[in-house]
Amino acid sequence: MRALLQRVLEAKVVVDGETTGEIEKGILVFLGLGKEDNLEKGKKLIDKILKYRFFDDEQGKMGWNVSQAGGGLLLVSQFTLMAQTQKGLRPDFGPAMPPTEAKALYEQLVEYAKLKYKNIGILITDHNVNETLSICDRAYLLIDGKIFKHGTAEELAEDEQVRRLYLGRNFELKRKDYLHDEASLSLGPSAMDERDAASNS
């Protein structure tokens, strides 16, 4: 697992002239997942990033983490960080986690990061519209590099054009809550009864 951190005064992702993710002062994180990575490693990395003293405190020293500095966190999935470039003239992406597994793990880390720190922006780029809508707050559908439709997951799921071209007439939006599912396996029925009121954002 590799993370490239950049302290920024502002950062945003722009697609076809429209901003799809944005923070002001904070940390921009590019995250790459390898074949040997897992959820526990990812949680430890997220925790470290959030605690990392990256910002100047009142004495002008790097003594504050992103929360103490009132900053934001923008996460961007970037498998190319796992490339091996020591040999030859072509990057080797063999160490990167396969796309399906990486997507599942990344989504769990997104949910964990949201739970740990609320001032956060998450950008996911994926061709699987069904899966992406199940976890995102807003989505942008592109055709030939231009935004075709955008809105909340619920708005896109109800859009007739989107259903006809992408989702299918029988599509049903099903929200995912990986952390809630994980807790149900480890905490047992009695503990889960107390958590039923919590819903995925």
Task: Provide the whole-model pTM.
Answer: 0.57
- What Rg value do the Cα atoms of the chain yield, rounded? 19
Per DSSP, the residues of 160-173 read: HHHIIIII-TT---
User: Closest Cα to residue 52, out of 11, 3, 10, 1?
Assistant: 3
Q: Report the amino acid identity of residue 150.
A: H
What whole-number distance in Å separates Cα of residue 60 and Cα of residue 119?
23
Q: Give the class (CATH, top level) of 2-125.
A: alpha beta
pLDDT beyond 60 at 20: yes
Options 20, 80, 100, 125, the catalytic residue: 80
- Residue 201: what pLDDT? 36
- Residue 185: what pLDDT? 31
- Residue 199: what pLDDT? 34
How do the residues of the chain divide into helix, strand and coil, expressed in percent and rounded to 5? 35, 30, 35
pLDDT beyond 70 at 91: yes
User: Closest Cα to residue 24, out of 53, 55, 63, 57?
Assistant: 55
Known catalytic residue at 152: no
pLDDT digits (tens, 9 = 90+) for 114-155: 777 765 566 676 667 777 777 777 788 887 778 888 888 888
Domain ranges of the chain: 2-125
At how many degrees (to 10) do helices 99-116 and 178-187 cross?
A: 80
| Residue 145 CB partners (closer than 8 Å, separation 6+) | 16
- Within 10 A of 57 (CB to CB), how many other CB atoms are there? 13
